[in-house]
């Protein structure tokens, strides 16, 4: 009998390699993904986040109703949906295992969220990048440690395509910053102003970027297509990814930079430590701190040998995180838990 998995993703069109990796291991797979065009809901003025979360709740109810008893539910990079699904399948007295791959949380620690987590984690298993995150979530939410397992992220479609396409990544001398989740744009602007000798290129969602005039050494792009984003990223000299949370954020852009051999300066968060060792293959800087960001950027921009060394070291580490490697680790864990997937 074939193993059966119901795979839940934010965007169905972005994980062809991961889907193929599951199928190549004899898994009978059903996939649920939100149409990418609906992602713009989150940017609606005043009530965008509410609508986006409401959509996730409705989808979670739907999935809980239609999932078959023989299917293991695996949720990729979507903590809210995994929590709701785990709660709803219990309410419906279904026995499905629910697995969240890559728990992401901003540590708000609200009573409502804590109650939801306690209900969900009666059924939910989830992966994190390292032991520190297990201890952190256990401390903040009192989630039993045995509900967690350590699993690195995968470079998924975006990374596999970079590896296979081998596009030109000529250094055009600027510092690149881009992305959406938990970006510290206020800090970014302060750092740009503190380093007038360097050219910066930024890519952001317009509603999340601070209003006001831009420094002369900054070129900003807003709401650009993915291919344009990657084109700007791959021609930078280094990447600077400041985030405003201590847990995780910005990993996908860090991975993209790494796969183009670009050295990275980013905020010292719990999750990124599984990829970047400070001073060995990149620089980790204090959250919200201008001085440490400026020092790290100057160190890279002024030393070609360090840039080359860091770029190669981070590439070697990240390029191993293929979808096949990801699935092998996941299946090994599931078999250890006696979950037949």
Q: Judge whether 130 lies within some domain.
A: yes
Q: DSSP character for 126?
A: E
pLDDT value of residue 300: 97
In angstroms, rounded to a whole number, what is the distance separating the alpha carbons of residues 225 and 287? 29
Of 321, 333, 323, which is closest to residue 72 (Cα–Cα)? 333
pLDDT value of residue 208: 87
Domain count, the chain: 2
* Locus of tokens 């690195």: 152
In angstroms, rounded to a whole number, what is the distance separating the alpha carbons of residues 94 and 314? 43
pLDDT value of residue 326: 92
φ and ψ of 100, to 5 deg: -100, 125
Q: Judge whether 332 lies within some domain.
A: yes
Whether 277 and 145 share a structural domain: no
Whether 115 and 258 share a structural domain: no
Q: pTM here?
A: 0.85
- The ranges of the chain with pLDDT < 50 are none
In terms of Cβ atoms closer than 10 Å to its own Cβ (0-12, 13-18, 19+), residue 113 is: middle
Whether 208 and 261 share a structural domain: yes
Residue 330's alpha-carbon distances to 22, 31, 41, 225, in angstroms, are 10, 17, 32, 32
Domain that holds residue 200: 157-318
Percent of the chain having pLDDT more than 90? 68
Q: Please, are residues 250 and 225 in contact by the beta-carbon 8 Å criterion?
A: no
pLDDT value of residue 282: 97
pLDDT value of residue 45: 65
């Amino acid at each position: 009998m074939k193993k059966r998995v119901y795979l839940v993703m934010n965007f169905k069109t972005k994980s062809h390699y991961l889907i193929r990796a599951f199928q190549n291991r004899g898994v009978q797979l059903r996939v649920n993904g939100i149409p990418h065009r609906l992602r713009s809901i989150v940017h609606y003025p005043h009530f965008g986040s509410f609508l986006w979360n409401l959509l996730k709740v409705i989808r979670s109810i739907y999935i809980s109703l239609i999932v078959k008893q023989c299917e293991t539910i695996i949720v990729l990079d979507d903590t809210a949906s995994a929590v709701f699904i785990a709660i709803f399948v219990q309410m419906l007295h279904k026995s499905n295992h629910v697995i969240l791959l890559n728990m992401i949380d901003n540590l708000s620690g609200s009573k409502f969220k804590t109650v939801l987590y306690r209900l969900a984690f009666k059924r939910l298993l989830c992966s994190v990048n390292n032991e520190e995150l297990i201890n952190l979530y256990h401390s903040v939410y009192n989630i039993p440690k045995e509900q967690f397992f350590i699993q690195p992220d995968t470079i998924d479609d975006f990374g596999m395509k970079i590896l296979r396409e081998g596009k030109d990544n000529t250094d055009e001398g600027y510092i690149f910053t881009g992305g959406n989740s938990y970006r510290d744009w206020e800090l970014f602007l302060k750092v740009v102003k503190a380093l007038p000798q360097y050219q910066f290129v930024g890519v952001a969602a317009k509603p999340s970027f601070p209003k006001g005039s831009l420094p002369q050494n900054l070129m900003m792009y807003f709401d650009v297509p993915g291919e344009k984003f990657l084109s700007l990223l791959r021609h930078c000299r280094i990447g600077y990814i400041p985030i405003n949370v201590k847990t995780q954020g910005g990993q996908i852009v860090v991975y993209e930079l790494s796969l183009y051999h670009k050295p990275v300066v980013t905020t010292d968060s719990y999750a990124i430590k599984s990829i970047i060792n400070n001073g060995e293959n990149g620089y980790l800087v204090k959250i919200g701190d201008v001085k440490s960001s400026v020092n790290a950027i100057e160190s890279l921009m002024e030393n070609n040998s360090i840039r080359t060394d860091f770029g190669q070291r981070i590439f070697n580490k990240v390029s191993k995180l293929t979808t096949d490697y990801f699935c092998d680790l996941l299946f090994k864990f599931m078999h250890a838990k006696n979950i037949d997937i």
